[in-house]
Amino acid sequence: MTERFELARERIQGMQEESFAEPDYAKYFRTCAEFAGRMCELYDWIGAGNLKTAALEELQARNRMLYEELFPENYENSFLNPAYAVGLLGEEMGRLLSGIYAKIRGMISACYARDLENLVIYLELFIEVYCRFREAQEEGQGLPEPEEIQQIYYWFVSDYADVFTQKRIREQLDPKACFAADIVRNADLTDLRYLYAYGVYVSENELGTARYMNGLSQEKIQLLADTYTEGYRMGFELAGKDLGKKKTAGVYYNLGFERMMRQAFENFEKLGLSPVVPGRNAYGSKSPNRQYEYDHKDDQALILDKAYVNRELDVLRTVYEENKELAGGYAGPAVLEVFGEEPFAPASKPQACVLNEKQQQLSVEYVSASREIQRQYILPEERSFTIIAFPIPEIGDKFEEIFDQVVRINTLDYQLYQRIQQTMIDVLDQASYVEVKGMKGNRTDLTIALHELGEPKEETLFENCVADVNIPVGEVFTSPRLAGTNGVLHVSRVFLNELEYKDLSITFQDGMIADYSCANFDTLEENRRYIKDNVLYHQDTLPMGEFAIGTNTTAYVAAAKYDIGSKLPILIAEKMGPHFAVGDTCYSHEEDLITRNPDGKKIVARENEVSARRKEPGAKAYFNCHTDITIPYDELGELTAVCRDQSRVKIIENGRFVLQGCEELNKPFEE
pLDDT tier at 54, thresholds 50, 70, 90: very high
Same domain for 338 and 427, yes or no, is no
- The dihedral built from the CA positions of residue 50, 55, 56 and 62, taken in this order, carries a sign that is negative
Amino acid at position 536, single letter: L
Give the range of the structural domain holding residue 329, as residue numbers without chain letter: 172-382
Quick check: is 166 in a domain?
no
pLDDT of 280 > 90? The answer is: no
Same domain for 196 and 311, yes or no, is yes
Same domain for 569 and 644, yes or no, is yes
Quick check: is 167 in a domain?
no
pLDDT tier at 497, thresholds 50, 70, 90: confident
In a 3-state reduction of DSSP, which class is residue 518?
Answer: coil
pLDDT tier at 466, thresholds 50, 70, 90: confident
Same domain for 95 and 241, yes or no, is no
Q: Do 409 and 557 touch, CB atoms closer than 8 A?
A: no
Amino acid at position 550, single letter: G
Using CA atoms, how far residue 154 sits from 1, 121, 299, 311, 337, in Å, is 23, 14, 12, 12, 34
- d(CA 287, CA 289) in angstroms, rounded, equals 5
Number of structural domains in the chain: 3
Residues 570-596 have pLDDT tens digits of 888 889 999 999 999 999 999 998 989
Q: Do 258 and 210 touch, CB atoms closer than 8 A?
A: yes
Same domain for 277 and 319, yes or no, is yes
The count of C-alpha atoms lying within 13 angstroms of the C-alpha of 217, restricted to the half-sphere facing its C-beta, is 3
pLDDT of 178 > 90? The answer is: no
In a 3-state reduction of DSSP, which class is residue 432?
Answer: strand
Taking only Cα atoms into account, the Rg of the chain, rounded to an integer number of angstroms, comes to: 26
3-state per-residue secondary structure call for 192-249: HHHHHHCCCCCCHHHHHHHHHHHHCCHHHHHHHHHHHHHHHHHHHHHHCCCHHHCCEE
In sequence order, the 6+-apart residues with CB closer than 8 A to the CB of 195 are 202, 206, 207, 210, 255, 256
pLDDT tier at 141, thresholds 50, 70, 90: confident
Burial level of 481, CB count in 10 A (0-12/13-18/19+)? buried
pLDDT value at residue 279: 85
pTM greater than the 0.75 cutoff: yes
Quick check: is 393 in a domain?
no
Same domain for 179 and 109, yes or no, is no
Quick check: is 397 in a domain?
no
Q: Do 574 and 550 touch, CB atoms closer than 8 A?
A: yes
Quick check: is 221 in a domain?
yes
Same domain for 253 and 108, yes or no, is no
In sequence order, the 6+-apart residues with CB closer than 8 A to the CB of 319 are 162, 165, 166, 169
pLDDT tier at 19, thresholds 50, 70, 90: confident
- d(CA 279, CA 113) in angstroms, rounded, equals 9
Quick check: is 394 in a domain?
no
Residues 227-272 have pLDDT tens digits of 999 999 999 998 889 999 999 999 999 999 999 999 999 999 999 9
pLDDT of 50 > 90? The answer is: yes
Same domain for 143 and 238, yes or no, is no
Same domain for 363 and 481, yes or no, is no
